[in-house]
Chains A and B, each alone.
Chain A
Amino acid sequence: MGLLRDTLRELRYYPSAIVGLVIISLLVLFSIYTVIAIPYEEAITLWRGGETVWYRLPRTVPPAWTNLFRSKKLPESLILDSREGAAERTEESLSKGEGKQIRLVYTFNFSYDEFPEDLSLYFYPTYTEKPPFVSVLWVTPDGREIRITDQAVKRGAFRFIQDKKLQRRLRRKVGDFPANVALFADPASTEADEPVPLKGTYRLEVLATTFDQESNLEAELIVYGKVYGIAGTDHLRRDLKVALMWGAPVALAFGLLAAVGTTVTTMIIAAIGVWFSGIVDGIIQRITEVNLMLPLLPILIMIGTFYSRSIWVILGATILFSIFGASIKTYRAIFLQIRESPYIEAARAYGASDFRIIFRYLIPRILPILIPNLVTLIPSFVFLEASLAVLGLGDPILPTWGKLIQDSLSNGALYKGLYYWVLEPSALLMITGLGFAMLGFTLDRVFNPRLREI
């Protein structure tokens, strides 16, 4: 198809086509990267993981880069894990030869204008009989020392905000503030009842006493920030990045398969109808007319509600109902014209079979119309999938852009001012649509020069 190649080469002269192509190639590369970086199984376990996977992340916080546009910098999350060497560790054996003393010192710099969301200390002790006894001490940049807790620890979390004893102690020492504020507040500001965080180097000291030589203690300090990562998190502490990344291959696959599936089948059916005419054409036309009256979205909602919400079932139903769409009429009109071409008559005269005429003579003529049509159709199917997800009929397993929007709406994201949650997937959807639309409209101009401006 040298003609096709020449036409595609012409795309170079259209900036919109180049922009469209760049967007599409970036999306494709992004999808490939996603599928390799977060394999399907992993993505699903991550997305359905819940607190056990995501306990380190703060809840519903915007992405970290939003700090660039804020005058008051929001704190980022801090994860200091002694197992990863994030704590300074000293050990000494006790004189009796039984047990040892382990000292873990976490030092971090805090220079934000807002208080962190929460603080947690996760303990991972190993012991045979008696769990280690732990004393935790908080040292502020100005040298004040605040005792956090003294307790025997089993595997589990110490949550600063929820601890009653700490709360009482802090009320006496600092004022009636929750732990995340009290621990970081500038003493000068607490008296005025308008706490601001004290910037500088904080230290948390964990002093553990074990009761036998084999016992050990590791601990993880998490200071939950108010921003996270490049995409932020949702109400289940999940990193939106996973869903945003996986949304791309799902959207592209759905859009492409649905668009190719419908256009190609529609075209073949239209060609068959036109070529055999008579009763075949009549049946195809009547089916199309009936199908045109059937509302696709309610049918898909019904399928989703009563049968299956799997993306593949929805894809199949979409293709099935779109095949006998309005484009059958368009293609038919064009095929009727092509059918009368002398070269088709010539082909009949040298004995080409019906099948050969349909596939070798009728269909290639329509490709110039088909290709732009197909490209512009892709985003409409991407949007359809997103719409279904927003209506709560998204695939229950796969994370998609539409499902992010649905999650955000059902959790009142806009009401709570969590705009990032809605805007991120919407922006990706719009960029996808834009890329295909730009390429599609340009292809239309290139293939159908009559549409060009005079």
Chain B
Amino acid sequence: MTLTAPVDTKATSTTVLLSVRNLRVWFELRKFGLGVAGYVRAVDGVSFDLYEGEAIAVVGESGCGKSSLMRTILGLHRPREGQIIFDGRDISRFTRDELRWYRTRVGYVQQDPYGALPPFMTVRGILEEPLVVAGVKDKQERLERIRQVMREVKMTPVDDFLSKFPHQLSGGQQQRIVIARAILLEPRLLVADEPVSMLDASVRVEILTLLRQLQEQHNLSVIYITHDLSTVRYFSERIFVMYAGQIIEKGPVNEILENPKHPYTWALLAATPEPDPQNVHKFREVPPGEPPSLITPPSGCRFHPRCAKIIHGTCERQVPPGFEVSPEHIVQCWLYEE
């Protein structure tokens, strides 16, 4: 399962910025406050490479482990196994100081813009915090950097916003502040966790376009986490489809959207609403059943209990390896065993 440089037309470099190797994030379940009753296998064996200046989208339903993956990359959770190599260094071995440095290199855009901003601080106070934490002592310099980043996220005139509190801003403006905070320390990687899912449809595109512009200007690598495939096209070069803690299909955007291979990806794509009046009369096929338990995941292919194309005797016994169906397009499904 080796990856070569993406064949995408976008000018992404071939330098790997972030490399995730066989990552497992398990959470302990305690029994009577003592002893371990089991584990929630939120992320179970994920590997991928992220190139400099590349945007990837991680899609999957709620509870599939995409948020745990993201938090682990941000250094908020410790992985149980595997490595996260950022710029050639393993972040799980970082000392406190190195971790602080790492955190200035990674920006984080959250889902709920209002919740992501401390309600008792002004915009200026909010944006000053990362700078203070990063050790920018000079007050004038901090203010200058805040002004600059505010212009970048198009919150102008800057001075009108500096003394506002989050509740005085619209949802779109709040999200711009969240983005400003994320890029303030000039990171090389941006992790965006469903950045537009809580916004009005009308501002979604604006925010996504803004993110795209910032990505190009700063040559940022972006991990874009979403369950909404309709916004992916705006944004990313590659799509990773996650199911039950594993990446089951990955490939270039157009490949996945137009030529999905995994039955779960089909279901996801089918669930994406399209603005077609005819859809009112159309009943959508959704995969039956619930997302699987992450404590006792199904054997073999984790999707097999819900899969319409199940190959009995194989799918429930053996974990499918990655099959490369076309260049860069890898799918973990027994249907594509040559």
Contact = CB atoms under 8 A, between A and B. Distances in A.
A349 B118 contact: no
A365 B181 contact: no
Nearest to A352: B133
Contact of A346 (B104, B108, B185): B108
Given A3-B165, A351-B103, A364-B120, A346 B134 contact: no
A10 B9 CA distance: 59
Highest count of chain A CB atoms <10 Å: which of B116, B118, B165: B118
Interface residues of A, number: 21
A351 B129 contact: no
Interface of B is mostly: loop
Interface string B49-67: 0000000000000000000
A346 B165 contact: no
B120 A365 contact: yes
A121 to B, nearest CB: 72
Interface of A is mostly: helix
A348 interface: yes
A276 interface: no
A173 interface: no
A283 to B, nearest CB: 14
A3 B134 contact: no
B74 interface: yes
B110 interface: yes
Interface string B30-42: 0000000000000
Interface string B81-101: 000000000000000000110
Nearest to B103: A351
A345 B178 CA distance: 12
A350 B181 contact: yes
Interface residues on B, range: 20 to 34
B76 A352 contact: no
A290 interface: no
A45 interface: no
B221 interface: no
B99 A351 contact: yes
A350 B118 CA distance: 14
Given A341-B115, A343-B115, A364-B120, A349 B74 contact: yes
Contacts of A352: 129, 133
B47 interface: no
Contact of B103 (A1, A349, A364): A349
Nearest to A341: B115
Contacts of A348: 76
Contacts of B185: 350
Nearest to B134: A351
A350 B115 contact: no
Contacts of A441: none
A335 to B, nearest CB: 14
A357 B130 CA distance: 12
B4 to A, nearest CB: 31
A364 B129 CA distance: 15
Contacts of A367: 120
B115 A342 contact: yes
B128 to A, nearest CB: 11
B31 to A, nearest CB: 17
A360 interface: yes
A188 interface: no
B106 A349 contact: yes
A356 interface: yes
B228 interface: no
A269 B74 CA distance: 28
Contact of A350 (B104, B111, B117, B122): B104
B76 to A, nearest CB: 6
Top 4 A-B pairs, shortest CB-CB distance: A351-B103, A342-B115, A349-B108, A350-B130
23 contacts: A2-B163, A3-B119, A3-B120, A3-B165, A342-B111, A343-B115, A343-B117, A346-B116, A346-B178, A349-B76, A349-B103, A349-B106, A350-B129, A351-B100, A351-B103, A351-B104, A351-B134, A352-B133, A360-B129, A361-B118, A365-B118, A365-B120, A367-B120
Interface of B: 71, 74-76, 99-100, 103-104, 106, 108, 110-112, 115-120, 122, 129-130, 133-134, 163, 165, 178, 181, 185
Interface of A: 1-3, 341-343, 345-353, 356, 360-361, 364-365, 367
Given A347-B129, A349-B106, A353-B133, 4 more contacts: A350-B129, A350-B130, A351-B130, A352-B129
